Amino acid sequence: MSDTGKVVTGTYSSGRTTTVRLVVTALFMGLTIVFSMGNLSIPVPGGHLYLCDMFIALGAILLNPAEAFVVGGLGSFFGDMFFYPTPMFVSLVTHGLQAIVISLIAHHTFKHHPKLASGIGVTVGAVIMVIGYTLGKGLVYSTWEAAYLKLPYEIAQGALGAVLGMVLCWGLGVRKMFNKLLNNA
């Protein structure tokens, strides 16, 4: 107990670290929602290439699996709910699983080689996204032909998101800034 009679459960810095992590999670979730919009996508025949995958990949590299799920699963779910609701549950499951797997691989494999672990994570995450959306679209639209026609664009979106997420994280120093922010919290 402190002098004021309140129970002290942790240090000031751990509370600040929790706040920083919450704010960063909310920021990446918001970016995922915004970049799920058609206006901020790349038009392709029969649809769009969405750029939200780069923030899902980046958030998952930086954050723990639960926070990554919020960014990827809930962020894409709400993005779809606001802009294109038909596949929103496919997005919840697919991008949620993608984010969790990226986070687990990035944080628990090759601890002395975090760039390699992140690269493997985003690659596996892109495969999960492509398979999840192909299966999901086949079920949602009840036509496997439509899902197969979109397969090249799903692959392009997954690859683009993985590469841009890695560039933001490692090439532009977002991971270094995130770690510095946590260390100063």
Own/partner pairs, 133-138, CB within 8 angstroms, 24+ separation: 133/87, 133/90, 133/94, 136/87, 136/90, 136/93, 136/94, 137/87, 137/90
- pLDDT for 117-173, tens place per residue? 999 999 999 999 999 999 998 888 778 888 888 899 999 999 999 999 999 999 999
Q: Domain containing 21: what range?
A: 12-184
In a domain, 7, yes or no: no
When divided into structural domains, the chain yields a total of 1
For residue 49, the domain's CATH number is 1.10.1760.20
Q: Decide if pLDDT at 10 tops 60.
A: no
In a domain, 74, yes or no: yes
Q: Decide if pLDDT at 8 tops 70.
A: no
CA-CA distance, 122 to 15, in Å (whole number)?
A: 30
The reported pLDDT for the residue numbered 9 is 38
**CA-wise closest residue to 91 among 157, 46, 144, 156:** 157
pTM, to two decimals: 0.89
Residue 14 pLDDT grade (very low, low, confident, very high; cuts 50, 70, 90): low
Q: Decide if pLDDT at 7 tops 60.
A: no
In a domain, 6, yes or no: no
In a domain, 33, yes or no: yes
CA-CA distance, 31 to 15, in Å (whole number)?
A: 24
Mapping DSSP to helix (H, G, I), strand (E, B) and coil, where does residue 48 land?
strand
CA-CA distance, 35 to 63, in Å (whole number)?
A: 19
